[in-house]
Every structure is written in C-alpha cells, then in structure tokens.
Structure 1
Amino acid sequence: MGDWISIVLLIGVGLILIYLELIFVPGTTVLGVVGLILSGIGIYIAYEKHGATTGSMVLAGTALISIIALVYSFRQKSWSRFSLKTENKSKFNEGYSLGLSIEMRGTAISDLKPIGKAEFGDKTYEVASHGEHIGAGSEVKISKIAGNKIIVDLITN
C-alpha cells in the first residue's frame, strides 16, 4: 500500500509541476524538469515494484491523464486567462519635435559628440551634430528635422 501512495504522489506532484510550468512559467525551466523527473521516478517505481504489466498500465494511465488534462484545458480556454489581450498602439515621444523649425536657434546644454542636448525656446531636446564636436554653451541652429531626430549646426559669428 505504501508503494502505491508514493507512486501516486510522485506522479501527481510531477504532473502538477509540469502544468504549472506550462501555465505560469513558459519555457524549459527547473519546474518542468523537476516535474518530469518526479513523474519518471513514480513510473520507474511502478515498474520496479509491481512488474512490467502494472508499470505499463501506470505509464499509459499517466500519459492518458496528461493528454486529457491538456485537451480539457485548451477546450475550456483556461489558458486565455493568462494571455495578454491588450495591444499597445501608442508611440514613444509622439509630437516630440512639434514647435521646432529649420534655422531655429538654440543653445547646446551639453557637449555634442556628436549627440547631446540643446535648448530651443524653453524646452530641452536631444540633438545630433553632423559628426563634429560642439561644446556646451555654443549657439546652434537646426539644419534638419527627420521624425524625432534633430540635426544641428554650430553657429559661427
């Protein structure tokens, strides 16, 4: 009787760990591997203690229970509770360069090597030079705006 309790517990806990792996922690991780090992040990004990016929029946029963549980969970759509249903359609920095125009003048707040920060009006923007170094505090003007990328030139007096 003690053998059957250990067999059922090993296989049951193993299957539960495998299903937890599938539902909560997708991928091949420790939880699924431990569940597979526990189920395998339970089946091995059934073969070892009760013979090939009983071991084969335990193996077939374990496989059948696994298949039934997976089919049932897919049919009941129980997995959809854990799936992401929303879609992010927003854009990062949308309207970032609104209010800026070509030839607009500003001040480099940080060194542009070739990327840094510059202030136009009362707002600070990330800008890029054409590859040259522009020191902090230098006067710059916008030479190109492409989407959210702002290209500046050094103003030389």
Structure 2
Amino acid sequence: MTVEIIIIAFLIILGVGLLAAEVFLLPGITIAGIAGGLMLIGSIAYAFYYIGETAGYITIAANLIISVAAFLFILKSNALSHIALKTDIDATVDQTEILQLNIGQTGITLSRLNPIGKAEFDNQYIVEVKSITGEFIDEGENVQIVKIEKSSVLVQSVPQSENQTSIN
C-alpha cells in the first residue's frame, strides 16, 4: 500500500508541476498542460482502482488542495517577477517625412494601395499611405492627401480630369 501512495503522490506532484509550467511559462495548450491534467486524473483513477473508494475521494481532495495551494503560492511569491519583462520600450518610429507633407498635396503611388501602400510626394518623400475610402488604387496613380494623422497619411485618388491639368 505504501508503494501505491508514493505513486499517487508522484503523479499529483508531477501533474501540478506540469500544469503550473503550462499556465505560467508555456503559452497556449501544449503537451505539458495535457500531460499534467492526465496525471492528475490518473492519480485519482489509480487510487480508486488499487486502494479503494475512500482513497479515491481523498485523492480528489488532495488534487484540489495541492493544485490551488501551488497556484496561490506561485502568484503570491516573487517567482513570477524574476521571469517577467520589466523594461518599457519608449522608442518611436521616425515620422519626419509625414511632418513635411501638407493636406492637398499630390503624389504618385509606388505600390498598389490595397488599401495601404507606398506613395511618393515631391519626388523625395516616400511614405506609407492609406486610401481614405478603402478603395484599391493601382501603382502609378496620382493621389492627393486628404488627412494627416499622427502616424498615417490618408489619400484619395485624383480624378482623371485633374490628372491631366496637373501634368500640363
């Protein structure tokens, strides 16, 4: 009977350890979480089958108490602070090209706006732009800036009649 209790205790400890690793270290549902759950269930089945009904119910209670206690201990201790990312990223993307642009300025698309793509303005500023209407604008089409936001430029296609006048 001592061997059975050792086997049950081993299954419980290993199962709780694998479940804790799953929750706190490994993202998603992986083999560790599935194996941990199966070991906890296996410890209960083992107790019912080899020792008896009373031992099975005691094993269910032990599984619950040990699992909750282990998770509370990990949450309350500073164990998670040693593996947590504590640095803040305060770097920003250089948006100097956007600051040089003005509403109403026209340019040409360098890639298809689908609805986001690249456009060139004043033959020097290449920026990522977005079609304000969500329409697709082909490469090589003239576009006009409608709105400039903090990190994006919204454009619309310039009608064909305006294309002809701006080219001449």
Give the TM-score, by structure 2 length.
Answer: 0.66
Does structure 1 conserve the Cα–Cα contact (< 8 Å) formed by 2:103 and 2:147?
A: yes
Q: Residues of 2 paired with 1:89 and 1:58: CA distance?
A: 50
Residue 151 (1) aligns with residue 152 (2): no
Equivalences for 1:59-98 in 2 at 5 Å?
59-87=60-88, 94-98=95-99
Unaligned runs of 5+ in 2: none
The structural deviation recorded for 1:30 is: 3.8
User: Matched residue pairs, number?
Assistant: 155
What's the counterpart of residue 39 of structure 2? 38
The structural deviation recorded for 1:67 is: 2.0
What's the counterpart of residue 125 of structure 1? 127
AA aligned to 1:122 is Q
Equivalences for 1:17-32 in 2 at 5 Å?
17-32=18-33
What's the counterpart of residue 48 of structure 1? 49
Q: Residues of 2 paired with 1:143 and 1:33: CA distance?
A: 54
Percent identical residues: 23
Q: Residues of 1 paired with 2:29 and 2:102: CA distance?
A: 53
SS at match of 2:15: helix
Give the TM-score, by structure 1 length.
Answer: 0.69
The structural deviation recorded for 1:21 is: 0.9
Q: Residues of 2 paired with 1:134 and 1:32: CA distance?
A: 49
The structural deviation recorded for 1:26 is: 4.5
Equivalences for 1:133-144 in 2 at 5 Å?
136=140, 142=144, 144=146
Shifted more, 13-22 versus 125-134: the winner is: 125-134
The structural deviation recorded for 1:5 is: 3.5
Q: Residues of 2 paired with 1:60 and 1:129: CA distance?
A: 60
